Amino acid sequence: MLTKNELTFNILAFNHVSERIRIAISNNPLSEGGFKLSDRDAKQFASFLDPSKGSGDLFVSSVGSKQAQSTEIELAVSPRHCQPNEKCWSISFLKKYYTLKLTEHFKAIGIPVQTNFVSDTDVWIKCRSPYPNCDGYRVFSLRVQFTAPAYTPELVIIVGDVHSVFNKPISDDLFSEMPHDSFGKVLYNNEIHLFNQLSDTARRQMDKVYPCISFKLLHALKLVRPAPDKSNRYLKYWKELVDFRATFLTDKEIANFMHLESAWKTAVPERLTNEKKEVQFGNGTHDEPKYGMRLHGPKTLIEDNVIFFFILHSTDKALAVTINDYLKGIESKFNGGLSGYLKMKYTTELNLSIVFEDKNNPIAEICAKIKEKSILSNASKRYVAIYLSPHSKITQNSQHKAIYYQLKEQLLLRGIVSQTIDANKTWGYGRPTEEVNGKIRAALSSNFQYSLPNIFVAIHAKLGGTPWCLESQASDELVIGISAYRSRDLDKQYLGSTFSFTNEGKFQGFDCFKSSQVAVLAGSIALKVKNYCQEKQDLKRLVIHFYKRLSWRELKPIEKALSELGMSVPVVIVSINKAYSDDLVGFDLSSEHLMPLSGTFVALHNSQYLLYNNQLLKGLEKINEREGYPFPLKITIQQFLPDKNESIATSPEDTISLLEQVCRFSQLYWKSVSRQWMPVTLRYPEMLAQIFPHFKYKDLTESGSESLWFL
């Protein structure tokens, strides 16, 4: 029976059916089935085989079969079943053995399977596809693991996405004009393969090879992606989990090789008590920015003389008139406009806005008009460009997509803050108009005013203001965030970094580097540390929020740069997976929505934690569907002492403060007034790394490296 505080996980413990396992090994590579022994296991059994025959590697035959020139070996599954002076099977072997058994079981009952990149078994269960002429498959990943300290065998059941497979083979006329690189995964003979790795047998039977939907196929066939389902993820995941178990894991055939426990694994979590605080606004505090900004105004005011102007296509003049009315505050649907919301004067100048004619190549025209209007001639003024983009930001047209980045860069080089608004999304493709007080305006939908707080907050932050912040805290640590983004268009990965000098979350300094420029990144970090110490004198530790687990080899350049400054401080790496954890999820079965309270965390192993960061602070709140049901963050904490190449565990007190810090930095997302659950120490660098590779000039200007222009 569950206690109220327990979480239930997507894990089933199992027992070995037999105390001993017999297999056949060979040093001949397998044509199919079976698996290769690890180097460590292979050394143990090398003496059983003739090293002059076959390769130096050892292979386990497919279960139940025996290869020519193979040798049978039988060992115990654990030390307690071993005979005197006998070794038992290793954990790595047992993982591969049970994974193979699961793969062969599902293949035998006619279900498509695949071994994924982390060596789990992906099981493709038929379901409905959102695309026409396709069959849908819900992918369940089965992971065998052994949990310390007792190394209990467990089966993790991971509920994945729906993949779609065309019901027409790759030889069909539909795909006759598609280049080879359009195809990724394909279904052949009830197995999932990569198209570029198909066997000769499969290539001779292209009428039996069925392509899976890929990004390139979606684009080429002009298929519309369905809107994402933002309903409760916990309820959907749990239902799929329970149904899969009842349908596929109670099979007698599975019971022949693993005895699955009847109850899901549970654990009693811990809870942070100080992970969320009311944030500070201009004249008060509130725990929700969307209300705090309205009630109390921004934390800091913009003192500069700011001039707004529009950049628009000639067909969007009516839209500019309407948006200008909203910003001026004369539109009744948003009283007060920008001035009332940000507590700053909204000012425009006659004939300052720029109207261009060429939708497909407007940059030269826009730059010429900026120069013609002498926008930068008055140093006492700052400028904000409201760009009404005639193209969607998610367009697949590479020329249209490039316009956004090119204009962003040109304005940034001139010190002009820019805010993009999608003209078609805002106005609608019907483009209705209305006449108000002798002006022809765009008639917008009733929802536009709800996007204005997000637009206003982003503009305020881009101008260097602080919309809201955490309460001031005594702190002698520097927090650095590093994240990455791989551009699908450019096929390059860039790292973005951001620096927080104060624990209340005031940011200064942004940089972007190619993923190979680790030494340059390290030098940049060292420079920021030096500047920090000159201002603060004492530095207790350096905390790095990193987008993946950091190895000692990756940390070494940072340590070297710090030592060259004569600094000897601990470095704490808080690795935060950019994707929320869906391979390991805990459910609160005592609540109707199944989502655990924010601040709930579970210690896993090897200094790894699951941390729930969401809108449920007390459990009594009404769920805001727009703020979603985020899965937990998977976090690893590594502490490196000076001159030590092995990480050590942080104290319980330090662990709690570091987890609380992750939650607090998620409250400082200034692109929206809706609450976010990923810390900005990762979100901001990733946004920077997403845009920066498209710039022609790879050196950010002073304003570009010290402002939030990328919001």
Give the single-character DSSP code of 263: S
- Tell me the per-residue pLDDT of 180-237, one tens digit each, with 9 for 90 and over: 888 999 999 888 999 999 999 999 999 999 999 988 888 888 888 888 888 899 999 9
- pLDDT value of position 702: 55
241 & 130 share domain? yes
Least confident residue range of 57-66, 104-113, 667-676 = 57-66
101 & 69 share domain? no
Residue with tokens 């056949």: 24
Give the single-character DSSP code of 567: -
Average pLDDT over residues 348-355: 92
- pLDDT value of position 2: 43
* E strands present in 92-226: 113-115, 121-127, 134-147, 152-166, 185-188, 191-194, 209-211
Rounded Cα–Cα distance for residues 208 and 258 (Å) = 34
Residue with tokens 């932050």: 461
- pLDDT value of position 468: 93
Least confident residue range of 73-77, 108-112, 379-383, 473-477 = 473-477
The residue with greater pLDDT, 670 or 541, is: 670
Average pLDDT over residues 520-530: 74
Closest CA to 650 of 622, 682, 684, 608: 608
38 & 112 share domain? no
Looking at beta carbons, which pairs linking 64-68 to residues 24 or more positions away fall under 8 Å?
Answer: 65/24, 65/33, 66/24, 67/24, 67/26, 67/28, 67/30, 68/26, 68/28
Average pLDDT over residues 450-456: 95
230 & 312 share domain? no
Mean pLDDT estimate for the chain: 85
242 & 382 share domain? no
The residue with greater pLDDT, 139 or 90, is: 139
Task: Tell me the pairing of strands 305-313 and 381-389.
Answer: parallel
Query: What's the burial of 710, exposed, middle or buried (CB within 10 Å: 0-12/13-18/19+)?
Result: buried
Longest Cα pair distance anywhere in the chain, in angstroms?
98
- pLDDT value of position 63: 55
**Residue 56 pLDDT grade (very low, low, confident, very high; cuts 50, 70, 90):** low
Query: What's the burial of 701, exposed, middle or buried (CB within 10 Å: 0-12/13-18/19+)?
Result: middle
Please state the pTM of the whole predicted model: 0.88
- pLDDT value of position 329: 92
CATH number for the domain harbouring residue 485? 3.30.420.10
- Tell me the per-residue pLDDT of 248-297, one tens digit each, with 9 for 90 and over: 999 888 999 999 999 999 999 999 986 667 889 999 999 889 999 999 99
510 & 652 share domain? yes
What's the domain count of the chain? 4
Rounded Cα–Cα distance for residues 247 and 240 (Å) = 10
For residue 384, being part of any structural domain is answered with: yes
331 & 250 share domain? no
206 & 309 share domain? no
344 & 403 share domain? yes
- Tell me the per-residue pLDDT of 115-124, one tens digit each, with 9 for 90 and over: 887 788 999 9
Least confident residue range of 140-144, 161-165, 547-551 = 547-551
Average pLDDT over residues 363-391: 87
For residue 57, being part of any structural domain is answered with: yes
CA angle 478, 501, 606 (to 5 degrees): 30
653 & 609 share domain? yes
Rounded Cα–Cα distance for residues 454 and 460 (Å) = 10
Q: Which helix (H) or strand (E) holds 680?
A: helix 680-691
Q: Is the pLDDT of residue 54 over 50?
A: no
Give percent of the chain with pLDDT exceeding 70. Answer: 87
Pick from 430, 463, 496: which residue ends a domain?
463
For residue 1, being part of any structural domain is answered with: no
- Tell me the per-residue pLDDT of 642-667, one tens digit each, with 9 for 90 and over: 777 777 888 999 999 999 989 988 98
For residue 191, being part of any structural domain is answered with: yes
DSSP string, 617-634: SSS-SPP-GGG--PPPEE
Q: Is the pLDDT of residue 64 over 60?
A: no
* E strands present in 314-454: 354-356, 381-389, 417-422, 433-436, 439-442
Average pLDDT over residues 617-640: 85
Q: Is the pLDDT of residue 46 over 80?
A: no
For residue 83, being part of any structural domain is answered with: no
- Tell me the per-residue pLDDT of 306-333, one tens digit each, with 9 for 90 and over: 999 999 999 999 999 999 999 999 988 8
Torsions phi, psi for 331 (to 5 deg): -90, 120
Boundaries of domain holding 450: 301-463
CA distances in angstroms from 19 to 89, 105, 257, listed in the order given: 11, 21, 11
Pick from 463, 486, 510: which residue ends a domain?
463
For residue 272, being part of any structural domain is answered with: no
Closest CA to 563 of 525, 596, 597: 525
For residue 306, being part of any structural domain is answered with: yes
68 & 118 share domain? no
The residue with greater pLDDT, 645 or 13, is: 13
Pick from 423, 446, 463: which residue ends a domain?
463
Strand order in the sheet with 11-16: 209-211, 185-188, 191-194, 113-115, 121-127, 134-147, 152-166, 11-16, 258-260
Cβ contact 3:58 at 8 Å: no
Closest CA to 506 of 677, 668, 661: 668
- pLDDT value of position 83: 81
212 & 259 share domain? yes
- pLDDT value of position 681: 87
- Tell me the per-residue pLDDT of 534-555, one tens digit each, with 9 for 90 and over: 766 677 888 888 887 766 677 7
Tokens of 508: 């200064």
CA 202 to chain CA centroid, nearest Å: 35
**Helical segments of 465-541, H only:** 518-536
- pLDDT value of position 214: 87
Cβ contact 188:210 at 8 Å: yes
Average pLDDT over residues 484-506: 65
Give the single-character DSSP code of 348: B
- pLDDT value of position 492: 67
For residue 117, being part of any structural domain is answered with: yes
Indicate the length of the chain as a whole number: 711
- Tell me the per-residue pLDDT of 560-593, one tens digit each, with 9 for 90 and over: 776 676 667 788 889 998 777 789 999 999 999 9
Give percent of the chain with pLDDT exceeding 90. Answer: 44
